[in-house]
Structure 1
């Protein structure tokens, strides 16, 4: 998986194509604008800075503690609801939805350590990620993780109104560490974590809280069936 440490700036390898293309186009636009009238170059230069800012990938240090479930995304907790999850868990679950604006870091990180035992993809629409129809109808990619104790968690990347490309950089059989990068949703969207109600999950956040991927503890999981 791409690592930021090899770069002078903490930029994700998931955005290489967009950064190269954007730099070429906006650099050319800035040069042309400056040739016409120097202050005009400010606009494309500002857009380039926004592009670079979007693909930033700062290092994160996950908290210690086996049962801690960390946020898979930067953003704001948009909802916490009990649902029936039939794609992977096949059980009642608590869904924690996290909305990412275009100003958030968009690299996604594993909420728990464990083995990837499921990958799923659903083509769909591109509703506003804040709307209730987004979780039902939007394009999404799902990753099912089984922890060493046998408990399972589903994390789902959901496309939004602006986000039109989901990157899921893991496969069935991969071992993920808590807080490890596993992909991103480009240009704003939503991440969802599903925890079975039988996992004795104790939430540590509430709707409206700001969270950071790989660091903010969303809650603590007990033993399966506890």
Structure 2
């Protein structure tokens, strides 16, 4: 397991800040020894929580042209037929995965193929499980088409704490299943929109592992 590049500068800055905050306790008020230990313990726990947020674990990625892989670690909070109004403008099956601040937050390609559509939308920062977060929050929309001509739309959605969405792909790119295409900082959600005749392999409240869990199978 490695630390994701999005966390490098933040983790270094945080380490310096915590060091600056703790040092005066030891040098200028040594009589409060017990509080030194408490402050140091709180600082270490806080730093480790931030550190684990940026972890980048190795994953064994299943391969299959018709397989749809979970784009993120988290919990399935929505499985429903819905109208997708931005790109397809028809009915699709929506699967939504909510990421808590304790989950890995890098975003992975659910299928391999050509990125046919990409758009960034500025917006609000409603809590990620809010029904309108999919259409009102800051978000990106991506559509990948596999070699069979089947298209899957997936959307990074910022949450109340997630104030920065990153992406590393452009329209026209060839993308590979399970590889990272972006990152969302501090709590968020990813929606996936599939053809109606897809086979769904997950259930509500099920936990997913990005790049490993097969959430659906596309029609052949």
* TM-score of the two chains, using structure 2 as the length reference: 0.92
Q: Larger Cα Rg: Structure 1 or Structure 2?
A: 2
Unaligned runs of 5+ in 1: 1-8
Query: Cα gap change, 1:76/1:164 in structure 2, threshold over 3 Å: closer, same or farther?
Result: same
2:116 corresponds in structure 1 to: 117
Q: What secondary structure is seen at the aligned counterpart in 2 of 1:150? A: coil
1:133 corresponds in structure 2 to: 132
| 162-171 vs 128-137, which moves further | 128-137
Counterpart Cα distance in 2 of 1:138 and 1:33: 42
Deviations, residues 161-205 of structure 1 (Å, cap 9, x unaligned): 1111001111112111110011111000111111122xx310000
The answer to whether the 8 Å contact 1:77/1:97 transfers is yes
2:55 corresponds in structure 1 to: 56
The answer to whether the 8 Å contact 2:76/2:95 transfers is yes
Q: Does 1:177 align with 2:176?
A: yes
1:144 corresponds in structure 2 to: 143
2:208 corresponds in structure 1 to: 211
The answer to whether the 8 Å contact 2:159/2:189 transfers is yes
Q: CA deviation at 1:90?
A: 2.8
Counterpart Cα distance in 2 of 1:186 and 1:79: 21
Q: CA deviation at 1:34?
A: 4.2
The answer to whether the 8 Å contact 1:60/1:214 transfers is yes
2:46 corresponds in structure 1 to: 47
Q: CA deviation at 1:89?
A: 2.3
Q: What secondary structure is seen at the aligned counterpart in 1 of 2:148? A: coil
The answer to whether the 8 Å contact 1:120/1:143 transfers is yes
2:13 corresponds in structure 1 to: 21
Of the three residues 23, 26, 48, the one matched with 1:31 is: 23
Query: Cα gap change, 1:64/1:25 in structure 2, threshold over 3 Å: closer, same or farther?
Result: same
Counterpart Cα distance in 1 of 2:25 and 2:125: 34
Deviations, residues 126-164 of structure 1 (Å, cap 9, x unaligned): 111112121121111111111111110111000001111
Question: Number of residues paired by the alignment?
Answer: 213
Counterpart Cα distance in 2 of 1:29 and 1:148: 55
